[in-house]
A = this chain, B = another copy of it.
Amino acid sequence: MAKDDLASIMKEYPYMPLRDVVFHTLRRAIMQGDLKPGERLMEIKLASRLGVSRTPIREAIRMLELEGLVTMVPRKGAQVAEITEKDLKDVLEVRIGLEELAVKFVCQRINQEQLDELRRASRSFEEAVRSEDLTRLAEADVNFHDLIYKATGNERLVQLLNNIREQMYRYRVEYLKDEEIRSSLIREHNQLWQALSERDPEKAARITQEHIERQQEYILENIMGTEKSE
């Protein structure tokens, strides 16, 4: 990572304050594992690296702090938050609760147009799986879930779910590399669409719960264990 990332973001959003550019850049670096848990975020180094002053760096760190992605040690500065197994478990418990709440609302509120759109999103996810393009796959997955979130009609819920999902990014890339996972994802998306179109909240909740629990198991087995040995 270098100035390229920052410059490209600034080109896309020319009026975005530097703090937001830095914020997104650092967040992405943490999500992707370029900045590893426990690593210190030293303001001067980051500032010279990104070609800005300390001020926007500091403001970005304040935002990352509130998102829980970095932890502050008094008079020692910021470091990338460690993720313990307990953390992951806690987050996923909350996530299951919120996702179940979401599908409940969706069953009450979704209209035909939104259902159709969701169906199309599910189809392009299938295509993305066949294309073997991991970036496209991740995007299609995000798109599918975004549509569901929007259909809840609750902006606050959408915000919370997006936040949690972003935190899961730290693992998802690895997760989607697994062949078997990908095909089961197709199945689950279809089942979920089915349940939503039948407006059956119990069924949708069950599918959602299984979906997330499967992710949890996979992450615990395949990723959490190996992380510490790096």
Contacts and interface: CB of A to CB of B under 8 A. Distances in A.
Interface of A: 15, 17, 19, 55, 58-59, 62-63, 65-68, 74, 86-87, 90-91, 93-94, 97-98, 101, 105, 154-157, 159-160
A94 B59 contact: no
Contact of A157 (B59, B90, B157, B159): B90
Contacts of A157: 90, 93-94, 97
A154 to B, nearest CB: 5
Nearest to A75: B15
Given A62-B59, A62-B62, A62-B63, A94 B19 contact: no
Given A62-B63, A66-B63, A105 B93 contact: yes
13 contacts: A17-B74, A58-B59, A59-B62, A62-B62, A63-B63, A63-B66, A86-B155, A87-B156, A90-B157, A93-B101, A93-B105, A94-B154, A97-B157
A154 B159 CA distance: 20
A192 to B, nearest CB: 19
Contacts of A101: 93-94, 97
A55 B59 CA distance: 9
A157 B97 CA distance: 10
| Copies of this polypeptide in the complex | 2
Contacts of A154: 90, 93-94
Nearest to A164: B156
B156 A94 contact: yes
A94 B153 CA distance: 12
A97 B98 contact: yes
Contacts of A66: 63, 66-67
Contacts of A74: 15, 17
A185 to B, nearest CB: 25
Given A63-B65, A94-B98, A94-B157, 18 more contacts: A15-B74, A17-B74, A58-B59, A59-B59, A62-B63, A63-B63, A63-B66, A66-B66, A86-B155, A87-B155, A90-B155, A90-B156, A90-B157, A91-B156, A93-B101, A94-B101, A94-B156, A160-B160
Contacts of A90: 154-157
Contacts of A156: 87, 90-91, 93-94
